[in-house]
Amino acid sequence: MRQAVFIYSTESEKYLYPPEHPFNTIRAKRVREIVSSMGLLSDSGRSEVAPVAAERMMLKKFHTARYLHALKTAAAGHWSAEALEMGIGSSDCPVFKGLYEYAVLATGGTLAAAKMILSGETELAFNPSGGYHHAGPELAAGFCYINDVALACIVLAEQKKRVLYLDVDVHHGDGVANAFYDRSDVLTISLHQNPKTLFPGTGFEHEIGTGEGKGYCVNVPLPVGTYDQAYMKAFEAIVLPLMKAYNPDVIVFELGADALAGDPLANLSLTNNAYAEIINHLMNFGKPILATGGGGYNVENTVRAWALAWSIFCGADPGEDIHHAVGGVLLESTEWQGGLRDRALAVSDSQRETVMPAIEATIEKIKTSIFPIHGL
């Protein structure tokens, strides 16, 4: 079995976004409590690593010095108009106590994962406190300040690894897609709610990269109401053939859980069974996986999805072994009967009639524009 590393620092529990903000850092702590109670942080090739803050020289591989300075000084109480121009202190990206420390510690976790994968210490690392895919070199956006996933891709690509960045967060992974828009050594694939109906408003099928990177940026916009079977149809038709053709050395997987039904900020209708299926596909591919958290604003659903993800990563899928379902009694959700897997959701006729044709059209567009570049 593969060595799987859960990345978590209790230090991060000190830092909280403002109470009115939808981003809840408690999610990672809750995931850890559950998987720990299930015995999934020790034995049988599983371990836990506490990361340290990312060093500034690492952050500068993606962010500008000007931005890092503004972020640090704003977090220390010296906020400026210049910082706001870079998104620091906006309603989405407020300045709060410990902001800088939190962001660099979360990033340290994702970079520790990259380092362990590069050294061969592990083939699978999960940082539920990571996944800040919207941040730009000089931009805080969409609750993200430091783009840990872009940095991980940079670090892996520097060591000549072919990287597949796969982003299943409900929002377009714009910060990462932009970072590698003209490069072919990092293939970015983002599946997300149609940008016409959701932040950040980018991520259409025609955004396919430029120059060397043409065909190495893949966007799969999904209609409101997209359900498991429709999502998996898109995944299997697009992601699987591209993954096989590209044949990455490593997969960086942004596992935002805001595409789940019931997320207060988005409008897709997935259950965590779709995520489980995706993870099984990635595991079967047999390459190292660096997984992170991301969005997910229904805390209960997000926590359960990430606990399920970890259980699959470390070879203990509760869907296959009912004994692990007892871990679920820790959760408070009244919606849920036990175990980590969601119940299947009914799909209405009108949902089927609107969602499937839109997804089929998207698959065709991508097959036409992207597949020939990869010899498919």
- The catalytic residues are 134
Q: How far is the CB of 91 from Zn ion (least distance, A)?
A: 16
Cα(305)–Cα(83) distance, rounded to whole angstroms? 35
Concatenate the DSSP letters of all residues of 72-107 into one string.
Answer: HHHHTT---HHHHHTTTTSSSS---TTHHHHHHHHH
Q: Kindly indicate which of the ranges 27-35, 197-205, 291-299, 301-309 contains the residues binding Zn ion, using the contact rule CB under 5 A.
A: 291-299
Among 131, 209, 223, 256, the residue binding Zn ion under the rule CB under 5 A is 256
Q: How far is the CB of 266 from Zn ion (least distance, A)?
A: 7
Cβ nearer to Zn ion, comparing 174 with 258: 258
Rg (CA), the chain: 19
Q: How far is the CB of 3 from Zn ion (least distance, A)?
A: 29
Among 148, 174, 205, 258, the residue binding Zn ion under the rule CB under 5 A is 258
Cα(235)–Cα(241) distance, rounded to whole angstroms? 9
Q: Which of 167, 192, 184, 199 is nearest to 362 (CA)?
A: 192
Cβ nearer to Zn ion, comparing 45 with 200: 200
Among 89, 128, 136, 295, the residue binding Zn ion under the rule CB under 5 A is 295
CA 301 to chain CA centroid, nearest Å: 15
Q: Residue 88 corresponds to which tokens in the numbers above?
A: 């620091």
Cβ nearer to Zn ion, comparing 87 with 295: 295
Residue 56, amino acid: R
Sheet holding 4-7, edge to edge: 46-49, 4-7, 124-127, 289-292, 250-254, 163-167, 186-193, 217-222
Interaction mask 161-200, Zn ion, x per CB under 5 A: --------x-x-----------------------------
Separation of first and last alpha carbons in the chain: 32
Sites for Zn ion among residues 318-357 (CB under 5 A):
none
Looking at beta carbons, which residue is closest to Zn ion?
A: 295
Half-sphere exposure for 293 (CA within 13 Å, toward CB)? 32
Q: Residue 125 corresponds to which tokens in the numbers above?
A: 């690392």
How many residues touch Zn ion under the rule CB under 5 A: the total is 5
Q: How far is the CB of 134 from Zn ion (least distance, A)?
A: 8
Sites for Zn ion among residues 106-135 (CB under 5 A):
none
Q: Kindly indicate which of the ranges 72-80, 84-92, 108-116, 288-296 contains the residues binding Zn ion, using the contact rule CB under 5 A.
A: 288-296
Residue 283, amino acid: M
Q: Kindly indicate which of the ranges 21-29, 160-168, 250-258, 360-368 contains the residues binding Zn ion, using the contact rule CB under 5 A.
A: 250-258
Cβ nearer to Zn ion, comparing 171 with 341: 171
Cα torsion at 189, 263, 297, 33 (round to 10°)? -90
Sites for Zn ion among residues 15-74 (CB under 5 A):
none
Q: How far is the CB of 292 from Zn ion (least distance, A)?
A: 12
Q: How far is the CB of 170 from Zn ion (least distance, A)?
A: 5
Q: Residue 86 corresponds to which tokens in the numbers above?
A: 């870079």
Cβ atoms < 10 Å from Cβ of 213: 19
* Chain residues in the site for Zn ion (CB under 5 A): 169, 171, 256, 258, 295
